[in-house]
Amino acid sequence: GHDIGLTSVPDTVQVKISSSDHLIVLCSDGVWEYLSAQDAVDNLRQNLQRSNPDNAAHELGCAASDQWSEHNESGTIDDITVLLVKLQEQP
């Protein structure tokens, strides 16, 4: 099985934000255990077309939880946190 729990060592990356960027997606490791970055973006894109950012974040968390349930017969699910930051367009 996969390890669960908290760590004090974050995975970080520094990127330059461009005018084509619309969202910053911050998630706990429980999201990334079974979902790729592209899976998350696809999920968010689909849910943002029909809902608001709060609901889209919730749906991504649910998708991550579903993946944990599918891969762990014990019912163990790691912490799952999703935070979306919507970037404003510059005039």
Res 86: pLDDT: 86
Query: Could you list the pLDDT tens digit for every one of the 91 residues in the chain?
Result: 556 666 677 778 899 999 889 889 999 989 999 999 999 999 999 999 999 989 999 999 999 999 999 998 888 888 899 999 988 766 6
**Which of 44, 48, 10 lies closest to 25 in space, CA to CA?**
44
Give strand pairing partners of 85.
24
Please state, in angstroms and rounded to a whole number, the distance separating the CA atoms of residues 70 and 2: 13
pTM as predicted: 0.81
Res 35: pLDDT: 95
